[in-house]
A = this chain, B = another copy of it.
Amino acid sequence: MPAAHGAVAIDMMGSDRGPEEIFEGVCLALRQFPDLAPLILVGDGDLLTALLEKHRLEDNSRLSIFHTSQVIEMDDKPVQSLKQKKDASMIRAIELIQAGAASAVLSCGNTGSLMAGSTLKLRPIAGIERPALASIIPSSEGHFVLVDVGANPQSTPLHIAHNALLASVYAQKVLKIPSPRIGLLSIGTEEGKGNELIQKAHEKLKQLSSFIDYIGLIEGFHLFGSGVDVVLCDGFTGNILLKSLESMALYLRKFSRKEFSKNPLRLFGAFCARGAFEALSAKLNAEIYGGAPLLGLNGTVFKAHGSSRARAISHAIHMASDLSRMGLQDEEMALLQQTKSLLK
């Protein structure tokens, strides 16, 4: 079992931008979040020692190094990578939870390997078959949780019902919403709309109504309103949706920047209204939200984007540190136990 207030093990080798970018994120997190858990930097020992020295952090008592000799690449096959790269930074980081030396893992690496490795080594909590990736997305008056964003592209109705329970606890704890409103994403709100998966999941979710606030089928139109706190979908749809929304946000940022710098008057206007841009930019910034925990495991496993910059890494470290202290798993297990007889 994970230590209650243990360390965060950071897979230093899994970033598209190299270990230096993650290290920048570590430095930033140390400055931004004084209440951070101890951090174990997992990766090439020589490289990490050099980075510590370069940043004059070799005596920082909150940092330690765990040396590993291998790296899982983005195009490695998940199952193969687990067999062939036993000393990979990602795998060793997960094993630190297993060994009780850490209570959370953060990785920017290969999602499939992280999913397979953590499922194999940490095991899902009792009752859960497959973990789910839960992403937090800003909406009109707060945020909503989108789950699953890609851990399980072959979701079953039972997986979706389980995800509702997991995400309900997650939204309570992280978004501080006492009774999160949960919707099932489909192509219409009438009964019978959608595909077979949706219809069967809808039936299961209705049975859980004494335990979660299931508001029923929702459509894409409802996402950014303020009527739903948890949006359920299968991992295939969720992954496409999350990435598409991020693509649109990025494109709008670029397009706005171009438009506002087209002539001096617009530039002056943009300068006067820069507060609004900062607010918009903060909302649109996928980096801050560009990470997601794998819900449903014995231990906190947090996945950040492969291309995350230091700022995003710092946020992700903070999230992982916080999550590991929240005792999500205990509440999730209690809820799963209570609803076990309903979900057969």
Contact with B along A263-296 (1 / 0, CB 8 A): 1011111111111100110011000000000000
Give every chain B residue within 8 A of A341 (Cβ-Cβ).
Answer: none
State whether A276 and B262 are in contact (beta carbons under 8 Å apart), knowing that A236-B237, A240-B241, A254-B140 are contacts in the complex. Answer: yes
| B276 near A259: Cβ-Cβ < 8 Å | yes
Chain multiplicity (copies): 2
B256 touches A280 (CB 8 A): yes
Residue pair A236, B139 in contact (C-beta under 8 Å): no
Q: With a CB–CB cut-off of 8 A, which chain B residues contact A249?
A: 248
Q: Does A61 contact B (CB under 8 A)?
A: no
A124 at the interface (CB under 8 A from B): no
Q: Quick one: which of A71-89 are within 8 Å of B by CB?
A: 75
Chain B positions within 8 Å of A223 at CB level: 243-244, 247-248
State in angstroms the CA–CA spacing of A167 and B220 once bound together. Answer: 23
Q: Is the CB of B262 within 8 A of A266?
A: no
In angstroms, Cα B154 to Cα A216, docked, is 21
**Contacting A276 at CB < 8 Å: which of B154, B244, B266?**
B266
Stretch with Cβ within 8 A of B (4 or more), from A4-12, A26-34, A186-194: A186-194
Q: Which of B240, B251, B263 lies in contact with A140, CB distance below 8 A?
A: B251
Q: Is the CB of A283 within 8 A of B255?
A: yes
With A154-B195, A187-B150, A259-B276 in contact, do A220 and B242 touch (Cβ < 8 Å)? yes
Listed by A's residue number, 12 A-B pairs whose Cβ atoms lie within 8 Å are A140-B254, A219-B243, A221-B247, A223-B244, A236-B237, A255-B280, A256-B276, A259-B276, A262-B275, A266-B275, A267-B273, A269-B273
